[in-house]
Amino acid sequence: MSGNTTDMRVERKPKLFEIVAQALRAQILAGDFELGERLPTESRMTEIFGVSRTVVREAVASLAADNLVEVRHGAGVFVLDHPTRKISAMTADMGNRISQAVNVLEVRMGIEIESAGLAAQRRSPSQEARIQEAFFEFEHLLKQGEPTGKADFAFHREIAAATNNPFYIEILDALGDRTIPCDRNSPWYSVEVLSQDYLSGLQREHLRILQAISAGDPDGARDAMRAHLLAAQERYRKRLSGQQADYSQLVAPSARIRTF
């Protein structure tokens, strides 16, 4: 009997209320609903999602258990404050300072290095397939000369999902795709990150992560993700060094002291 039982794992199909709860959770954490705002009525949500009232109630109960909403009988369901909402607000207003990019990468390292290792151990066949699909979507967009930011984020998000721990994906969703520098909406976007060499380098790093996860190698997956995010930090540091060099050249002529 083979010692590798990963491929025998059968992924449980999510229940309807879990699908509805996940959709509402994503909207809440993305800030589509403000703190204290009331969610659509139960009857309206049955229309939006095409499910029964029972399914909606179970979804709301799941969100209430996670302290995302509060059910006020006779008044409706209201959005509560949540730590990941604060993260979303921070990333939405972090400006374009490279120092902020380095800070976000440190947070991502704390989350994504371990998520890569867990994904290598816990991923189901369909989860592994979705990671690969995101990888090849990046490759397709790269060859077409199209923006790759969304596919880049999807790759990292699918790895977080493959941990089968909802908190990893929740935090990554709160950080959002604006933390991906090759996304045009990123505050750290630059012409450099659209170059073929830059993006091809990212894809080679993604490949090492994918290969380790597919091989069921948690230590290799952690090492590959660590190398990927450290390389991103180094690229930002080089941009800072380049800015310093440009500034030095600009001020050098006027900074010379003439002697007579």
- Paired strand residues for 72: 76
Mean pLDDT, residues 240-250 taken together:
53
**What's the chain's average pLDDT?**
80
Helix (H, G, I), strand (E, B) or coil at 142: helix
Residues whose CB is less than 8 angstroms from the CB of residue 206 and which lie 6 or more positions away in sequence, other chains included: 135, 138, 152, 155, 228
Which residues, 6 or more positions from 233, have their beta carbon under 8 angstroms from its beta carbon?
102, 105, 106
> Is the pTM higher than 0.85?
no
The predicted model gives 89-97 an average pLDDT of: 52
Q: Residues 104-151: pLDDT tens digits?
A: 788 889 899 999 999 999 999 999 999 999 999 999 999 998 888 889
- How does residue 6 score in pLDDT terms, banded at 50, 70 and 90? very low
For 55-83, the pLDDT digits (tens) are 999 999 988 877 788 999 889 999 986 65
Residue-wise pLDDT tens digits, 148-179: 888 999 999 999 999 999 888 888 887 776 56
Mean pLDDT: which of 3-12, 126-135, 178-187 is highest? Answer: 126-135
Q: Is the pLDDT of residue 239 over 60?
A: yes
Q: What percent of the chain has pLDDT over 70?
A: 72
> How much is the pLDDT for 103?
76
71 phi-psi bin (left φ>0, alpha ψ -120 to 50, beta other): beta
Measure the CA–CA gap between 206 and 200, rounded to whole angstroms. 10
- Whether pLDDT at 218 is above 70: yes
User: Is the pLDDT confidence value at 97 over 80?
Assistant: no
Residue range 1-18: average pLDDT? 59
